[in-house]
Chain A
Amino acid sequence: MPDQRPSGVAFHRVSAGYGGVTVLRDLSWTVERGALVGVVGPSGAGKTTLVRLLTGQADRHHGRVTVFGDEVGAGGARRIGYVPQLGAVDWDFPLTVGQAVLLGRTPDSRRVPWFSRRERARAGALLERLGLAGFERRHIRDLSGGQQQRMFLARAMIRDCDVLLLDEPTSGVDLATRHDILHLLADLWHDGLTIIVTTHDLNWVAAQLPRIALLNGTIVADGTPREVLTPDLVERTYGARMRVIHDGNQVLVTDDHAVLGPRRLAHRGAVA
């Protein structure tokens, strides 16, 4: 019997990869409309590939991927906003923060070299909401990593998307920025957006997101952090035994064999 719930993003027995290489195998997974879910897994697990499957950049070998009922084609789905993993663009490119955000509006904008006053006002409002008020006329190089991340979030949001994909939005940013990004995601989630966010930071995700999926070539488990972060499931995903500590509402995953244990630090301290 077919699923009657409003489907957001659905993978049905999908195998995918790049060229002849298979990265994701027999993956079936559904993210309901309006969900906020984290995808966690070790490096190389296929988190980016999963996201790229939705944007049309990975090759689908088998199965079906739908977004709000529409099959995803080569150019990706229509309603997706995408915030890629940082670092791929030329930061010396001659663009201001405002212009970079407005580019996201291109397909819906008039075919003239400039953006309308209304579009610019919209970009300004988005930047303000993301804590980048006053940066509109600055060069993109002048932003910190976390600010660049938020700028690209604004570029995705200016498109009027229903699904937001964020690939490792928290890697390489400090604790405070990580906190801000998380709050922002919660806000957007409350606005009704469907959000998929990848991260390799188990604790960050475990501690904060309402729902996570463990990925390692395929979805290993999917549920609340409390349900999913068990020693067995974590071991199946990461291939290493870890300790899971439950503390009130918090879940914490730690490595049993600390590489830089207190002994080594003490040794360094003794030298200095």
Chain B
Amino acid sequence: MSWFTEPFAYGFFTRALLACLVIGAMCGALSVFVVLRRMSYIGHGLAHSVLGGVAVGVALGYGTYPGAVVATLVSAVLIDRIARRRGLHVDAAIGIVTTALFAVGIVVVSTMRSHRVNTEAILFGNVLGVTSTDLWIATACAVGFGAVLFTWFKPLVFVVFDREVARVHGIRAGGIELLINLLTAAVVIVSVRVIGVLLVAAAVVIPGALARLVSRSLPMMLLIATLVGLASSVLGLYGSFHLNVPSGAAIVLVGAILFAVVLVVSSLAAWFRVHRARSTHREPPAPVATSGSPAPSPHQPPAMTRTRESP
């Protein structure tokens, strides 16, 4: 059991664990909507623009969050605007906006080497760096996230399921979509400290994808995804501590392993179901021929094929 208790000897660990719980749950719940909207790419994109924001923010001396917030807000809104132009889809919008901001970040980071922006921590996550401010911000974000989900659940589901009809029913679909993008942006920002820019994208996809494999009920999917998010972030944190690897990498790896296991198990289960169905419905024995003509076998080719073969 010391594997579980040992890390608590270090002061930072409790804080990191709490942050992981909050972030894991949020990423998990959010991932259901990300997967259902088929916008797995958005986490990736927003996280990249975070890098730009953080780099500029740190370079100008404002710290991590203001830059990240401005950058993701700008990119969430720009994505929304560009995606509404006819003929351009949201993937193109994400590709343009967020990589541009990422490029800004790279330019700033490389021209300001003396500032010693900890690039590795931004890219891959660093639990050692979790301050109590980070924890408070993450918690506040989680409360807001929960409140939005609670209040807007029905319109959110309606718009994601059937945007057109939701609009006809008087729901402001554009507003709802912007809301989802902003929620995603918020979750990405608070997760970057622990999971890192490059890996947060996976954290907002894997739990939802796994839940979709095993459930066709939305409440159940939300529950499963939240639990998977929690489990992978906590297990990942322990892995990160014991193996001395970046926390983001460990968290995403745990999630990916869980996903792979569920994928294999559910595929096997499906195979067994089909197999059992086949073996219980055995072909009936061939009917006994009563007249002179032989009973047709069920595998006999249809008449059309035979006529084509014989000229």
Contacts and interface: CB of A to CB of B under 8 A. Distances in A.
A57 B168 CA distance: 9
Contact of A93 (B161, B166, B168, B215): B161
A272 B307 CA distance: 7
B119 to A, nearest CB: 39
A259 interface: no
Describe B's contact surface by its main secondary structure: helix
Interface stretch (B54-62, B123-131, B133-141, B147-155): B147-155
B217 interface: yes
In this complex, the interface size class of chain B, counting residues with CB under 8 Å from chain A, is: 20 to 34
A94 B162 contact: no
Interface in A67-124: 75-76, 78, 80, 82, 84, 88-90, 92-96, 99-100, 103-104, 106-107, 109, 111-113, 115
A272 B157 CA distance: 53
A207 to B, nearest CB: 29
A84 B164 CA distance: 9
Interface residues of A, number: 37
A103 B167 contact: no
Nearest to B307: A271
Nearest to A268: B304
A159 interface: yes
A56 interface: yes
Contacts of B154: 103, 106, 109, 111, 113, 115
Nearest to A18: B86
A100 B217 CA distance: 12
A55 interface: yes
Interface of A: 19, 55-57, 75-76, 78, 80, 82, 84, 88-90, 92-96, 99-100, 103-104, 106-107, 109, 111-113, 115, 139, 141, 152, 155-156, 159, 271-272
8 A-B pairs with least C-beta separation: A113-B153, A94-B218, A82-B168, A55-B168, A106-B154, A103-B158, A107-B170, A111-B151
